[in-house]
Amino acid sequence: MNGHTDILAIETSCDETAAAVVRDGTHVLSNSIYTQIGMHTVYGGVVPELASRKHIEKIDYVIKAALEEAGMSLEETDAVAVTYGPGLVGALLVGAAEAKAIAWAAGKPLIGVNHIEGHICANYIEHPELKPPYLGLVVSGGHTHLIIVRDYAEFEILGRTVDDAAGEAFDKVARAIGLGYPGGPKIDAAAKKGNASAITFPKAKVNHSEYDFSFSGLKSAVLNYLNHAAMMHEEICREDVAASFQRAVVEVLTEHTIRAAKEYGMSRIALAGGVSANSALRDAMRGAAVKEGFELFVPSPLYCTDNAAMIGAAAYHEYLRGTRSGWDLNAVPGLRLGER
């Protein structure tokens, strides 16, 4: 008890083993991440069983590092928070079991956190002045959501992907053009050397659904382009493919977001999730926001991709609302935003 609310947060939903101590939802006292990316790169994507096995191997070290860096003991924290969904079930179970064990042993409240809510709340770490209501775009490896954040833990979903998530499209296209995993950062880098107008890929449209997204058609268009070039024994320019594909994704995301902000009268827009680390998306959104007079919030790249500090930020608002999880907290791999 020091007049602050210090939350130890744990995140193991995919391929990062992470723990952080976050004070009052905005001050990151520590942010420890063990990334498994190197291990999964060999297989071209995340291998769920290997992810779980690595989480169980690293979780104690990562938590110890987070507490040490924060200069705190577990007893000095006010609560233990953990991502319990959505994500890979075996990976989530490691974090959930760990959080329950240490919270129970230390007599601390336990707070189960929705991973997507965590991504959104990453914005509060560097922008405590951002307050609901605002428009949010969450773009990650598993999710693409356009939402109105009505309150800190209240969301209205305007649109979502009907097939691939934006990050998934980046990863699949990167694999197809031989850039490897994880595709997003590699396409981002390759695109900087390419011509975004070289190839016209179709912009994804979803019939009758103004704010939904679809990326599988765009991915197929890229694959068709590559197959056609191979059949004709034509060399492709990977940088041009990367830049042209990225442009199609960025345009759709930007157009939907700006249109929704106008229609719903939102003056602030916040981006979140791994794909919001994309430099072209950040630039396009900044440009559009300035032109249309919206205030734009984007986390630093470190807080865009998976980390535990964002879980601590989300947990703080849940803590204030009185959210407490029971000792029967379980992994919910398909957990939806706004669901408990």
246 binds Zn ion (CB under 5 A): no
- In the complex with ligand KG4, the residue whose CB is nearer, 183 or 194, is 183
**Smallest separation (angstroms) from ligand KG4 to the CB of 141:** 3
Token look-up 């998934």 returns: 168
Contact by Cβ (8 Å): 26, 130: no
Cα separations (Å) of 49 from 56, 88, 222?
Answer: 11, 9, 30
Contact by Cβ (8 Å): 234, 264: no
Strand, helix or coil for residue 8: strand
Q: Which tokens is 197 given?
A: 């107008």
Give the one entry of ligand KG4, Zn ion, none that residue 25 binds, where binding means its C-beta sits below a cut-off of 5 to 8 angstroms depending on kind.
none
- In the complex with ligand KG4, the residue whose CB is nearer, 9 or 103, is 9
Q: Please give the angle made by the CA atoms of 115, 313 and 10, to the nearest 5 degrees.
A: 55
Rounded distance, CA 242 to CA 193, Å?
Answer: 9
Q: What is the contact surface with ligand KG4 in residues (CB under 6 A)?
A: 14, 140-142, 167, 170-171, 182-185, 188, 273-275, 277-278, 305-306
15 binds Zn ion (CB under 5 A): no
Give the one entry of ligand KG4, Zn ion, none that residue 85 binds, where binding means its C-beta sits below a cut-off of 5 to 8 angstroms depending on kind.
none
- In the complex with ligand KG4, the residue whose CB is nearer, 6 or 188, is 188
Nearest to 257 by CA among 288, 287, 280, 214: 288
Give the one entry of ligand KG4, Zn ion, none that residue 7 binds, where binding means its C-beta sits below a cut-off of 5 to 8 angstroms depending on kind.
none
Give the one entry of Zn ion, ligand KG4, none that residue 182 binds, where binding means its C-beta sits below a cut-off of 5 to 8 angstroms depending on kind.
ligand KG4
- In the complex with Zn ion, the residue whose CB is nearer, 168 or 239, is 168
306 binds Zn ion (CB under 5 A): yes
140 binds Zn ion (CB under 5 A): yes
Segment contacting Zn ion by CB under 5 A, of 125-133, 299-307, 309-317, 332-340: 299-307
User: What's the Rg (C-alpha) of the chain?
Assistant: 20
Provide the sign of the torsion angle of the four alpha carbons 180, 184, 187, 190, taken in this order: negative
36 binds Zn ion (CB under 5 A): no
Contact by Cβ (8 Å): 275, 167: yes
Rounded distance, CA 258 to CA 142, Å?
Answer: 22
Rounded distance, CA 29 to CA 18, Å?
Answer: 14
- In the complex with Zn ion, the residue whose CB is nearer, 90 or 194, is 90
**Smallest separation (angstroms) from ligand KG4 to the CB of 119:** 6
- In the complex with ligand KG4, the residue whose CB is nearer, 153 or 169, is 169
Catalog residues that contact Zn ion under the rule CB under 5 A: 140, 306
